[in-house]
Amino acid sequence: MPTMPQAIRSYFERERPIELRHCDPMRYVDGKPRPPEQSVWIRATAPLPDDPAIHQCVLAYASDMTLLDAALVAHGSTVFSGEIQAASLDHALWFHRPFRADEWLLYTQDSPFAGGARGFTRGRIYTEAGELVASVAQEGLIRRRRKD
Protein backbone atom coordinates (compact mmCIF):
# COMPACT_ATOMS: atom_id res chain seq x y z
CA MET A 1 0.00 0.00 0.00
CA PRO A 2 1.79 3.14 -1.20
CA THR A 3 0.20 5.52 1.37
CA MET A 4 1.37 3.42 4.31
CA PRO A 5 4.36 4.94 6.15
CA GLN A 6 7.62 3.37 4.95
CA ALA A 7 8.54 1.84 8.35
CA ILE A 8 5.18 0.07 8.61
CA ARG A 9 5.17 -1.00 4.96
CA SER A 10 8.68 -2.44 5.37
CA TYR A 11 7.51 -4.49 8.36
CA PHE A 12 4.66 -6.08 6.40
CA GLU A 13 6.62 -6.55 3.17
CA ARG A 14 9.82 -8.02 4.61
CA GLU A 15 10.57 -11.66 4.09
CA ARG A 16 9.37 -13.77 7.01
CA PRO A 17 8.08 -17.30 7.63
CA ILE A 18 4.50 -16.04 8.13
CA GLU A 19 2.66 -13.92 5.57
CA LEU A 20 0.22 -11.35 6.99
CA ARG A 21 -2.50 -9.50 5.08
CA HIS A 22 -4.59 -7.07 7.10
CA CYS A 23 -8.22 -6.69 6.04
CA ASP A 24 -8.11 -2.99 7.01
CA PRO A 25 -4.59 -1.69 6.32
CA MET A 26 -5.88 1.91 6.48
CA ARG A 27 -5.87 1.66 10.27
CA TYR A 28 -2.08 1.98 10.04
CA VAL A 29 -2.35 5.10 7.90
CA ASP A 30 -5.16 7.32 9.15
CA GLY A 31 -4.90 6.91 12.96
CA LYS A 32 -8.67 7.00 13.36
CA PRO A 33 -10.20 5.15 16.31
CA ARG A 34 -12.22 2.09 15.28
CA PRO A 35 -14.08 -0.63 17.15
CA PRO A 36 -11.56 -2.83 19.02
CA GLU A 37 -11.45 -5.56 16.41
CA GLN A 38 -9.44 -6.50 13.35
CA SER A 39 -9.02 -9.36 10.90
CA VAL A 40 -5.82 -10.63 9.36
CA TRP A 41 -5.21 -13.36 6.78
CA ILE A 42 -2.18 -15.49 7.75
CA ARG A 43 -0.27 -18.43 6.33
CA ALA A 44 3.18 -19.96 6.28
CA THR A 45 5.14 -18.65 3.30
CA ALA A 46 6.38 -22.09 2.27
CA PRO A 47 4.78 -25.55 2.05
CA LEU A 48 4.97 -27.48 5.31
CA PRO A 49 5.25 -31.23 5.92
CA ASP A 50 2.00 -33.10 6.59
CA ASP A 51 2.74 -33.57 10.32
CA PRO A 52 -0.17 -31.87 12.20
CA ALA A 53 2.16 -30.95 15.09
CA ILE A 54 4.22 -28.75 12.76
CA HIS A 55 1.08 -26.92 11.61
CA GLN A 56 0.06 -26.40 15.26
CA CYS A 57 3.51 -25.02 16.13
CA VAL A 58 3.45 -22.61 13.19
CA LEU A 59 -0.03 -21.40 14.13
CA ALA A 60 1.00 -20.98 17.78
CA TYR A 61 3.85 -18.74 16.63
CA ALA A 62 1.65 -16.77 14.21
CA SER A 63 -1.17 -16.32 16.73
CA ASP A 64 0.99 -13.95 18.80
CA MET A 65 2.02 -11.68 15.92
CA THR A 66 -0.88 -9.19 15.74
CA LEU A 67 -3.20 -9.93 18.64
CA LEU A 68 -2.26 -7.15 21.08
CA ASP A 69 -2.70 -4.60 18.31
CA ALA A 70 -6.45 -5.28 18.46
CA ALA A 71 -6.54 -3.55 21.86
CA LEU A 72 -4.99 -0.39 20.41
CA VAL A 73 -7.28 0.11 17.42
CA ALA A 74 -10.02 1.70 19.56
CA HIS A 75 -7.51 4.38 20.52
CA GLY A 76 -6.35 5.06 16.95
CA SER A 77 -2.94 3.71 17.83
CA THR A 78 -0.73 0.80 16.78
CA VAL A 79 2.37 -0.92 18.07
CA PHE A 80 4.21 1.03 15.35
CA SER A 81 3.50 4.44 16.92
CA GLY A 82 6.79 4.51 18.83
CA GLU A 83 4.85 5.76 21.85
CA ILE A 84 3.59 2.36 22.95
CA GLN A 85 5.35 -0.29 25.00
CA ALA A 86 3.65 -3.66 24.46
CA ALA A 87 4.48 -7.13 25.71
CA SER A 88 2.59 -10.40 25.94
CA LEU A 89 1.91 -11.40 29.55
CA ASP A 90 0.05 -14.63 28.83
CA HIS A 91 -1.20 -16.39 25.75
CA ALA A 92 -3.50 -19.42 25.46
CA LEU A 93 -4.38 -21.33 22.30
CA TRP A 94 -6.93 -24.10 21.78
CA PHE A 95 -7.00 -26.28 18.66
CA HIS A 96 -10.44 -27.48 17.58
CA ARG A 97 -9.85 -29.42 14.36
CA PRO A 98 -7.07 -30.23 11.86
CA PHE A 99 -5.90 -27.47 9.51
CA ARG A 100 -2.95 -26.52 7.34
CA ALA A 101 -0.92 -23.49 8.38
CA ASP A 102 0.46 -23.20 4.83
CA GLU A 103 -3.03 -22.38 3.53
CA TRP A 104 -4.77 -19.06 4.16
CA LEU A 105 -6.40 -18.75 7.59
CA LEU A 106 -8.56 -15.82 8.69
CA TYR A 107 -7.59 -14.57 12.13
CA THR A 108 -10.40 -12.45 13.61
CA GLN A 109 -9.47 -10.55 16.75
CA ASP A 110 -11.20 -8.37 19.30
CA SER A 111 -10.46 -6.69 22.59
CA PRO A 112 -13.31 -6.58 25.11
CA PHE A 113 -11.19 -4.71 27.67
CA ALA A 114 -8.17 -2.41 27.83
CA GLY A 115 -7.24 -0.46 30.95
CA GLY A 116 -4.74 -0.22 33.76
CA ALA A 117 -1.85 -0.62 31.28
CA ARG A 118 -3.21 -3.99 30.14
CA GLY A 119 -5.19 -5.20 27.19
CA PHE A 120 -7.23 -8.38 26.95
CA THR A 121 -7.61 -9.77 23.44
CA ARG A 122 -9.30 -12.79 21.87
CA GLY A 123 -8.91 -14.42 18.52
CA ARG A 124 -10.65 -16.96 16.34
CA ILE A 125 -8.89 -18.65 13.45
CA TYR A 126 -10.87 -19.98 10.48
CA THR A 127 -10.09 -21.85 7.28
CA GLU A 128 -11.06 -20.27 3.96
CA ALA A 129 -14.14 -22.52 4.09
CA GLY A 130 -15.20 -20.86 7.37
CA GLU A 131 -14.37 -23.72 9.75
CA LEU A 132 -13.16 -22.64 13.20
CA VAL A 133 -9.81 -24.35 13.77
CA ALA A 134 -8.45 -22.53 16.83
CA SER A 135 -9.28 -20.00 19.55
CA VAL A 136 -6.85 -17.65 21.29
CA ALA A 137 -6.85 -15.46 24.40
CA GLN A 138 -4.10 -13.08 25.46
CA GLU A 139 -3.43 -10.45 28.07
CA GLY A 140 -0.69 -7.97 27.41
CA LEU A 141 1.06 -4.98 28.84
CA ILE A 142 0.14 -1.89 26.85
CA ARG A 143 1.32 1.49 28.05
CA ARG A 144 2.79 4.72 26.82
CA ARG A 145 6.57 4.86 26.81
CA ARG A 146 8.14 7.22 29.30
CA LYS A 147 9.68 10.34 27.82
CA ASP A 148 12.78 10.19 30.05
Q: How far apart are CA 130 and CA 54, in angstroms?
A: 22
Residue 98 carries which side chain, given as an amino acid letter?
A: P
Active-site option among 10, 24, 85, 88: 88
39 is catalytic: no
Q: How far apart are CA 76 and CA 12, in angstroms?
A: 19
81 is catalytic: no
Cβ burial of 19 (10 Å; 0-12, 13-18, 19+) is middle
CB contact set of 138 (below 8 Å; sequence gap of 6+)? 64, 67, 68, 88, 89, 90, 91, 92, 120, 121, 122, 123
135 is catalytic: no
Active-site option among 56, 64, 102, 135: 64
Active-site option among 63, 77, 109, 138: 138
- Cite the active site residues: 64, 88, 138
